[in-house]
Amino acid sequence: MTPSTMDEMQTKMMLYMMPVMMTSFMLFLPAGLCLYILTNSILSIGQQKLVERQFGMAPASQAAATENKKDFARLGLNRPSGR
């Protein structure tokens, strides 16, 4: 079973609200912890990109979209439209 893709409204909310929330959380944390979280996030993104490039994989979002299309086609359904 593949996870469902996000609605447009959810995508916009994640795009704009998550950075604001993370910034507000980090304002009140000790500087060392903020530096650790930032460094860990950057290294995790780099590691993911390296693995995708090394193994010739499509990025996770493209892979999930492809799987959803296959599932809908297999079931004979039209792809649901966003609201």
pLDDT tens string 2-34: 666 778 888 888 888 988 988 888 788 888 888
For residue 5, which of 57, 76, 82, 77 has the smallest C-alpha distance? 82
Nearest to 83 by CA among 1, 3, 5, 18: 5
Output the pLDDT for position 27.
84
Residue predicted with more confidence, 56 or 17: 17
Q: What is the pLDDT of residue 82?
A: 52
Is the pLDDT higher at 59 or at 32? 32
